[in-house]
Structure formats: C-alpha cells, structure tokens
Amino acid sequence: GRRPHHNRRREPRSGGAMLAVDEELRIPGDEGREYVIAPRAEIKGTGGFAEVRVARCTTTDATVAVKIIKLRPVGKMDERTVLREVRIMRQASSAPHPNVIRVLDVHIARGDTRADLTRASPLGAAGTAYIVLELCNGGELFDRLTDFGRVPEPNACHYMRGLLQGVAHLHERGVIHRDIKLENVLLSDDGTVKLADFGLAAELAVDASGAPINANALLRDVVGSQSYVAPEVLVRKMKGYRGAPVDAWSCGVCLFTLLSGFFPLDVADARDWRFRRLQAEQALGNLRACHVIFSMYQRDCPFSEAVQALLDGLLRVDPAQRMTVPDALRTAWLQPGDDAKDEHGAFESGAHGDGVVYRSFLGFGSFAAPAAPLAPEMLVPKRQAAHEASVLGQAAERA
C-alpha cells in the first residue's frame, strides 16, 4: 500500500555508461543488417548491468532501441540467462502482436573478459550482449502515473485493454510474464501499449503450432516485484502455482494503481495488514475488493461500478476464483463506447490521488492505527531504477 514514486535517472551514474560518450558502435545483425549507435546517442534507460540506447539500422534506416548487457561469467546476467530471455521473447513474438515488444536482432560479442567495457572496439566488446528491439518513444506507463498522479478511467481503459490483449497473446504462445508492472509496460509514439522485459518469464512446453501443451503446468520459483506479485507465489510451503492467474493479479494491481495513484497492497502476504484484511473479508464472502481496500481508510471507492467489477475479479486472493485474462477482456468496462468511464477516475481536483489515504500510510490524519504497524521501510515511498525491482527473484536465486 505505497504511493508509487519515481526516482528518474535519465543519465547513467558517473562511470556507469556502457559506451564512451564519443564512441560510435556498429552491431552486426542477421541477413546482413547492421545497427549503428552514434556518439552521444540518447540513453532510454539504465540499470546495474545494462542500458538501452537509440540506434539506426543502416539497411532500412529505421530507428531502433538496443539493450546493451554487460555479461557475467555465471548467474543472473550470464550468457545463458540472456539467451533464455531472448528465446522467450522470440517465442512470444513468433506470431507478432501489437502489444508485445518485438525483438529484431541479437548479437553476442564473446572472448574478452575485460571489466572495463567503456573502451569497446567499434565491432562490439566481447562479454557483451546487444538485443535490438523496436523503439518505444512514449516511455513507461509508470511515467504517466508519476507525471499526473493518477489516470482517468477512459485513459486507463485504453492502456488496460492493450495490456490484457498482450498478456492473452503471451499465454496463447506458452509464455507467462511473471513481472507485469507499470515499469515494464512501454508506450509507442501513438500510445500503443507494449509489454516488455521478459527476464523473469516462464516458458511452457508448446506443440508444433506454438500453443501450450499444458496451460495449467505448475511453476515453483518465487519471482516478481513486491507490490505486484500474486499471493500464491509467496506461499511459504511452495506447492506450485499456475502461471496465468499470477499475471492476471498483476494486471489488476496495475489498473488499481493507475486509477488511484497508490498500490492496493504493499505485499500480498501476512506481512501487510491490508492483505490480511482483504483475505479475511473474501473468506467471509465479501468479494468487493475495491470497497474493502478503501474502507480501510474510511473512504468510499470512487471508481465506476464497471471497473470495480473488473478489479474485484482480478484481485481475488484465491487463484482458482480469480478472473481470467480472457474473461477480463470481455467485461463491460473494457468494451468501446462505455460512457460511464467518462465520469469517474478522480479523487479530488489536485494533480495527485487521495492525499488523505497517503497520509494514513505515513501515520498522519485521524485513522485508527493498523493492527500490526508496518516497518518503516515499508512506509517510505521508494522507487529505484525501472529494472532493479525484482528483489524476490534475486532473493530466491541466492537461497
């Protein structure tokens, strides 16, 4: 239950650039293609082991994005892990979909173990992966939230329709994303949603047509991002979980956060008093998740009835009772021409969401104290670089 906060970093940390600022890099692709990253090329994003730069394809003159990854000998960013992510992306786009980012080319430069990659040769430093992707100039969907505080229902409907259509396509191709969050939803120039970042995705076995052989196959690894991950992933005695409901829950968190400006839960397990309340209410038959969450702060839910019906279905704690992605796409709120959306989606006239709810998170106002106070680190609005947030997966890897 935190208000999202964006610590933007448009430029890499000092000394953290993968390429020297005055360097031109030429990257070979398949079928004679070549991509050029010009000196001082725009940096679209940075992380601990990777950055994304704008490049140009010399054969088509198209502008693309290149994700440059500093490979490690073993572990999270080794060559095997990166190639697995690329394989999953290609499986997802084996039948291209407008709401799933396309991987255009991949080049792995091997053989040089130098730690300093800023002196890379023009043909690419060994120990580096270059993933060429379609360019999304609209930024992250998270940026819409941090720029405007919350998103009106008509806009959120457009974004969610695209997101759910992209997720449905992934599931039809045997791919479970497992890290759906506003930071991993990109926007093209025309506002089209593009689901990206498949580093934590799972691939199911598929038949000759590319469809999953067993869509209900159980997954067991604990991965995801804190405020978005489904409760069944966090169960201590792991019995396994089905992938599709996990993605559906994360889509529900994205939608609630877009409309309200704050996360419905801090984490979907017993550490969070809000989750305990939501779980208890649903066990008693109260399935109105939106009303339960807002009632914790003595507020009425401001959303339209149509979007509440969608959210109440997606935010079911029991995955067996949770709304599926195909069923979500058939709900009334996501159909074109729903005029009810035009009248909802705002708390107050201010730029950001409900300040009274925010103050309750921070211990201000006249609300009753939660049954179990949250630890201080759970109360501080904190958002680091876009791709660092998969702490659960990192912890599981270390275990």
Residues 367 and 266 reside in one and the same domain? yes
Number of structural domains found in the chain: 2
Residue 338 inside a domain? The answer is yes
Which of 112, 134, 156 is where one domain is finished?
Answer: 134
Residue 384 inside a domain? The answer is yes
Residue 14 inside a domain? The answer is no
Residues 367 and 242 reside in one and the same domain? yes
Residues 258 and 168 reside in one and the same domain? yes
Residue 15 inside a domain? The answer is no
**Roughly how many angstroms between the first and final C-alpha of the chain, as a whole number?**
27
Residues 70 and 160 reside in one and the same domain? no
Check residue 80 and give its pLDDT.
Answer: 82
Which of 134, 162, 182 is where one domain is finished?
Answer: 134
Check residue 111 and give its pLDDT.
Answer: 56
Residues 78 and 200 reside in one and the same domain? no
Respond yes or no: is residue 338 known to be catalytic.
no
Of the residues 30, 105, 179, 207, only one is catalytic, namely 179
Check residue 247 and give its pLDDT.
Answer: 98
Give the domain CATH number at 75: 3.30.200.20
Residues 177 and 290 reside in one and the same domain? yes
Which of 94, 114, 134 is where one domain is finished?
Answer: 134
Residues 130 and 146 reside in one and the same domain? no
Check residue 113 and give its pLDDT.
Answer: 42
Give the domain CATH number at 353: 1.10.510.10
Check residue 71 and give its pLDDT.
Answer: 83
Domain residue limits at 173: 141-398
Check residue 237 and give its pLDDT.
Answer: 62
Residue 387 inside a domain? The answer is yes
The model's pTM: 0.79
Residues 129 and 145 reside in one and the same domain? no
For the chain, residues with pLDDT lower than 70 are 1-22, 47-48, 73-77, 111-126, 236-237, 338-399
Residue 194 inside a domain? The answer is yes
Check residue 297 and give its pLDDT.
Answer: 86
Residue 19 inside a domain? The answer is no
Residues 83 and 146 reside in one and the same domain? no
Residues 125 and 257 reside in one and the same domain? no
Residues 349 and 373 reside in one and the same domain? yes
